[in-house]
Structure 1
Amino acid sequence: MPHTSRKKRPSTQTPQKRLQVVDDDGWTHVTSSNNVRRTLRGTQSQLQSHEQTSIEEIDGQEPTFTPAEAPGRLTLEGLQAQYREHRERWKDSETWTRLQARLVERIVDASYQMRDIKMDSGRTEQGNASDTRHLHVDKVVCVGLGSPSGFLRGGWVDRRSVSMYQLAALESVSSQISQAIPIYAQDPVFNTLDTALFSSLGITVISHPAAFSLITPQTLLFCPGAEKKHLEQLLTFNPSMVFGGPLEDTNSETIQNFADKMSSIRLMPFEVSEHAFWRTRLYYRDNDGDHEHDDDESKES
């Protein structure tokens, strides 16, 4: 006779945590164990909303950031190969072509470009592309780039590709200003592979809060992912140039006052990964006092 009254033994399995990651095509992968389903992300505003939700303070406390976890089989050589691909796409884009032209036209004064120096021996020595004295920039400080190699646990959006493209922009803009300008980068999520990659590119990784002591009125501040509360702190040091934003309409008097005294160039949409430079501008201090704001019709509104 069957034992119909026997109670089922309670399951001892621990529910697996579900994780969401977004790939380069805009798909969100929702995974638990080996099962993955794909859901298409909607609009750009939804993506931004998800990222902002992920980095909000929890229970009124600052979130604790730790180095991002890179895939176990990823090597420095593999990471460098990935970065070269991203850099090539950035360099071949209309976004960089337009920005580079604006940098030369609006910021790098031809009268201050280094001329060929005729040597007594008849050799010609090429100078740097530009003279940083005109730009009043003696260093670049990058804050909050994110990890190019790893992603954070607990449902964080996978921003590795975004970090790669922003790193390519950091390298390109810095080189356009001067070939020898020192570059510093700070983010608590940088891991060992990230540090090795930056080192191979001549970028020095620093720990919090070293960046705040490095920013001066002669600094290019590169911070495309900075939050409002961090911008309010960073901009008090009055950097000469800022890559990030937008700084307008932030409901912050500190940020607005800084934006009002700067000229700016708005990047046109980067079609390969539009959210990598969403409404990003390059702000700079115009020596003649006329504040110009480049809003080409081909750019997004």
Structure 2
Amino acid sequence: MPHTSRPRTQRNQPSQKRLEITSDDGWTHVTTGNNARRVNRNTRNKTQEAHVLDPVLQPAEAPARLTLDDLRIQYSLHRSQWVESETWNGIESVLAERISRRVQDGNGLDGRVDGIVCIGLGSLSGFLRDGWVDRRDVSMYQLAALESIRDLVVENTSVDSKVSVSVYLQDPVFNKLDCALLESLGMTVVNHPEAFERVTRNTLLFCPGAERKHLEQILPSNPGLLFGGPLENTESDVIQAFIDRTGSRILAPFKANEHAFWMTRFYWTEENSQP
């Protein structure tokens, strides 16, 4: 059969390549075809060397026809794959043991997990960087892990199975659909810096997608449990100090999407450890 001459388009992919042109005034013009927008770059001492400001992240753009019901169906499929995986089955008992051991620590003080804080989950429904980055699968699987851990905390810290454990999530890329899905799961989306301020020694910090600069702000609060990383070899004194007072267990590779939990570990602070 002869090939058609009609060009093939890819769904959810931009049709034109972006170009960045830096002019003499220190601005970078990001172009797609004949369109251009200006990205702020300050100059130092009137030199031509541009200083790039940290980008202000915006909510991710979801496909126009995607509904909350569609998103729930997608999440249900991802969660099924997660809970049936060797990755979850291999770490579940370790998590349960460490959560249970914190209910009564060596000083006779209540060390139960009283909240979960999630930093940097990413959008569950939208594309990042003007549609060039799609990491929705990664975020979906990580949310499945977060919900599984939340259920495990409730099961192993309370005699009343109806007692809930608060989960707070913070990420500037969350859009309205993301927030609706998270809220339907009994989780709370907060704005910066509220999630950072909620971290204590009784917090389980969930941060597979957190950046180093954020970890350096959070870890001095000495969260009792941490799911994320890897924290090793970051060349950060703050992060290394946290590692030095913790034990850890690495997760088995997640076959459905290896990037979702690449080198992820579960960390726990040793009994009576102090920052």
Aligned-pair CA distance for 1:76 = 0.5
Structure 2: how far apart are the matches of 1:158 and 1:215?
29
Equivalent residue number for residue 283 of structure 1 = 267
Q: Distance in 2 between matches of 1:257 and 1:97?
A: 30
Mind listing any 5+ residue stretches in structure 2 that lack a counterpart? 1-9, 18-40, 42-50, 156-163
Of structures 1 and 2, the larger Rg is shown by 1
Question: Is 1:161 aligned to 2:109, yes or no?
Answer: no
Partner in structure 2 of residue 259 of structure 1: 243
Residue pair 2:99, 2:113 contacting (<8 A) in 1 also? no
1:180-199 paired onto structure 2 within 5 Å:
180-199=164-183
Within 5 Å, give how 1:113-128 maps onto structure 2. none
CA RMSD of aligned residues (A): 2.6
TM superposition shift of 1:213: 1.4
Alignment of 1:64-103 (within 5 A): 64-103=56-95
Kindly provide the CA deviation profile for residues 60-103 of structure 1, in whole angstroms up to 9, marking residues without a partner as x: 31111111011111110000000000000000100000111222
When normalised by structure 2's length, the TM-score is 0.74
Q: Would you say how many aligned residue pairs link Structure 1 and Structure 2?
A: 221
Secondary structure of 1:136's partner?
A: coil
Structure 1 residue runs without a partner (length 5+): 1-19, 22-28, 36-57, 113-132, 290-301
Q: Distance in 1 between matches of 2:102 and 2:266?
A: 20
Q: Hey, what's the Cα distance between the residues in 1 that align with 2:70 and 2:103?
A: 42
Structure 1: distance between partners of 2:99 and 2:140: 25
Matched, 1:175 2:167: no
- Mapping 1:169-248, distance limit 5 Å: 169-178=145-154, 180-248=164-232
1:215-256 residue CA offsets vs partner (Å, 9 max, x unmatched): 111111111011111111111111111111111111001100
> How far did 1:287 drift?
2.2
SS at match of 2:150: helix
For residues 103 and 200 of structure 2, what CA distance do their matches in structure 1 show? 25
In structure 2, C-alpha distance between the alignment counterparts of 1:110 and 1:206, rounded to whole Å: 26
Deviations 1:99-132 (A, max 9, x none): 11222345434997xxxxxxxxxxxxxxxxxxxx
Counterpart contact for 1:108–1:135, Cα < 8 Å = no
Q: In percent, how many aligned pairs have the same letter?
A: 54
Give the match's secondary structure for 1:108. Answer: helix
Distance 1:205 1:72, change over 3 A: same
Cα distance change on mapping 1:174 and 1:228 into 2, 3 Å: same
Relative to the length of structure 1, the TM-score reads 0.68
